[in-house]
Structure 1
Amino acid sequence: MQSGFGFCGHDDIQRWQRALEPIRASAGPLPRRSPIGALVKSMISGRTRDAVSLAAYDRLVAAFATPARVLAAGPGEVLRCIGAVTHAEDKARYVTRALGRIAAERRGFDLGFLGDLPLDDALAWLERLPGVGRKVAAATLNASTLDRPVLIVDSHVLRVLQRTGFVRRGAEGRAASEAVTRAMPEWQGRDFLDFHIGTKKLGQTLCRFDAADCAHCPLRTDCRARSD
């Protein structure tokens, strides 16, 4: 294995994609939201269980219906909807500030133009927004209707990539996303999303932070951190 570079890295990812398919399929499909919807959903999801962040997002949509109304409501009212997520006050503030920046620059909330920019430029544009890092930017591009080919790396995906040795132990999510994205130039957006779902589910179940069930892991033969 070559830490995400070269043909060896490509073959590893391709093999893991096949091995993770049963786990990915058990998670079910992710809904394809608009880019602005995917942005807001990802911004409130960090370090929060999926069910909690999804319920918070649904409350936000039910309460305000449009990004313009979320922005007009302000962080206090947003906090009422997303109060159950981790760091809710910070996220409420960042969401409204990000929406305000988008509205000022784009005269609206249509982020479809990001589908026409080079991938690195689209990521960079999003990462200029308050509260948006690489994970949120990648989710906005990949998990939305834009369907762009970039890997979303959260803490679960990063742990799997570190333990297998695809990236070094101290690597950050940005480096891991870039390594896998570079390694798979022929992949489409759907392929990257499937890999994200599969590795995330693996990290939530068999490859948890506090306990790893290596005996049942589909990647155990390739994992440098496995316990025999």
Structure 2
Amino acid sequence: MRSKTPSVTPELQQKLIQIHDRLCEAYGCPIPYFHSLDPLSELVSALLSHRTKNADSDRAFKRLKAKFSTWEAVRDASEKEIEDAIASCTWADQKAIRLKQILQQITEQRGELSIDFLADLSVEEARNWLESFPGIGRKTSAAVLAFSNLRRRALPVDSHHHRVAIRLGLIPETTAVAPAHDVLEAQLPSEWTAQQVYDNHEVLMLHGQRCCFYRNPNCDRCVVLSLCPYGQARLG
């Protein structure tokens, strides 16, 4: 069972809102969704993207779609055929095995290869169902619900988002990526829409990519410097 998320103080939530507003002004919210895949396609895409550069996982996804006419065809293909199609991914051999297993398990559970039924569940019910499969964690379940055409209110946290959140003091430095999902999601105002939750992920991620770099972050041009204990300490 997932551990209970810590309570959120009004001060911390207000800081999150201030950060969100400044970053939204800098990066232009609302941010358009980058694609509109059905939930199963988004799941496949998310599984391929694990520890892989976006360009490489995108290429693997497109090759998989070009080689196989349906996800049923992928499910029924050999692991070697799948591996060859997704060769641009890291750990293509392991991902081929996992992908085939998950597609088979969905079919066994649902009687068909579709997860459109997630639209009828609450976000937490949908995430719990997805995470019942080996290899699907908080980031993948959130990505399926938020990025697919379901457009649900779920917050993915990638490595950039995670790094920026730590530096801003939104989460302790010791918080790993997986538990950070629940901690950061608990900070979001309950009245925020799915678009606002998506924007929050996107602006924190973009800030990590364009300003708050892993090495040598550009703290002197950071729009949230006054809210960032890491940046203030770094600049003295």
Kept in 2, the 8 Å contact 1:24–1:197? The answer is: no
Aligned with 1:181 (options 182, 185, 190): 185
Q: Which residue in 2 is equivalent to 1:6? A: 9
Task: Find the counterpart in structure 1 of residue 52 from structure 2.
Answer: 48
Q: How many residues align?
A: 226
Q: Does 1:123 align with 2:127?
A: yes
Unpaired segments ≥5 residues, structure 1: none
Over aligned residue pairs, what C-alpha RMSD do you find? 2.0
Specify whether residues 97 and 24 from structure 1 end up closer, same or farther in structure 2 by C-alpha distance, changes over 3 A only: farther
Instruction: Tell me what 1:109 maps to.
Output: 113
Pair 1:205 & 2:210 matched:
yes
Q: How far did residue 103 of structure 1 move?
A: 0.8
Confirm or deny: 8 A CA contact 1:206 1:212 kept in the other structure: yes
Cα separation, partners in 2 of 1:146 and 1:28, compared to 1, 3 Å? closer
Asked if 1:222 corresponds to 2:231, the answer is: no
Letter in 1 for 2:228: C
**Which residue of the partner structure matches residue 3 of structure 2?**
none
For 1:89-108, list aligned pairs within 5 A.
89-108=93-112
Q: Higher Cα Rg: structure 1 or 2?
A: 2
Whether the 8 Å contact between 2:19 and 2:227 is mirrored in structure 1 is: no
Alpha-carbon distance, 1:75 to partner: 2.2
**Farther off after superposition, 181-190 or 136-145:** 181-190
* 5+ residue gaps, structure 2: 1-5
Quote the residue 2:162 is aligned against.
Answer: 158
Query: Aligned pair in 2 of structure 1 residues 161, 205: CA closer, same or farther (>3 Å)?
Result: same
**TM-score where L is the length of structure 2:** 0.88
Structure 1 segments of 4+ aligned residues over 4 angstroms from their partners: none
Deviation, 1:51, is: 1.4
TM-score (norm 1): 0.91
CA contact under 8 A between 1:4 and 1:180: conserved in structure 2?
no
Partners of 1:89 and 1:19 in 2: CA distance: 42
Instruction: Tell me: CA distance 1:90–1:47, structure 2 relative to 1, closer, same or farther (3 Å).
Output: same
Tell me which residue corresponds to 1:23: 27
Q: In 2 relative to 1, CA 210–111 (structure 1 residues): closer, same or farther, beyond 3 Å?
A: same
Picking from 188, 192, 201, the partner of 1:196 is 201
SS, match of residue 44 in structure 1: helix
Contact 1:142-1:151 within 8 A present in 2 as well: yes
Q: How far apart, in 1, do the equivalents of 2:80 and 2:49 lie?
A: 18
User: Which range moved further: 116-125 or 154-163?
Assistant: 116-125
Distance 1:20 1:49 in 2: 24
Specify whether residues 163 and 45 from structure 1 end up closer, same or farther in structure 2 by C-alpha distance, changes over 3 A only: same
Q: Quick check: 1:24–1:194 contact (8 Å CA) kept in 2?
A: no
